[in-house]
Amino acid sequence: MRAAFALLAMCAAVAACSRPNAGSETPPGVSYRINNGNLAESNERAAQYCGQYGKTATLDSVSNESGGGKIAVYSCQ
């Protein structure tokens, strides 16, 4: 009986430790170079990327590269 109780307690402890903590995970994000000023293409690629996580892509910023291009940064929410 003691062994069964000890085994049950150990299983409960392991299960509690392995359970993910809801809300602590940061959603993935992604960035794409904007080709030929076509932000719509970057938006579509970000939507596909975030969609694989069951999330929606949100454009966070567009920044200038040193070489004259632009980078679009997205978060998946």
Give the residues across from 49 on adjacent strands: none
Residue 43, judged by CB atoms within 10 A of its CB (0-12, 13-18, 19+), counts as middle
Percentage, residues of the chain above pLDDT 70: 65
Q: Where are the domains of the chain?
A: 27-77
| pLDDT of 62 above 50 | yes
| pLDDT of 50 above 70 | yes
> Contact 75/60 with Cβ under 8 angstroms?
yes
What average pLDDT does the chain have? 78
Residue 31's closest CA among 68, 65, 2?
A: 65
| pLDDT of 76 above 80 | yes
Collapsed DSSP state (helix, strand, coil) of residue 27: coil
**To the nearest 10°, the Cα dihedral for 23, 27, 53, 34?**
160
Give the confidence band of 67 by pLDDT, cuts at 50, 70, 90.
Answer: confident
**pLDDT at residue number 2:** 55
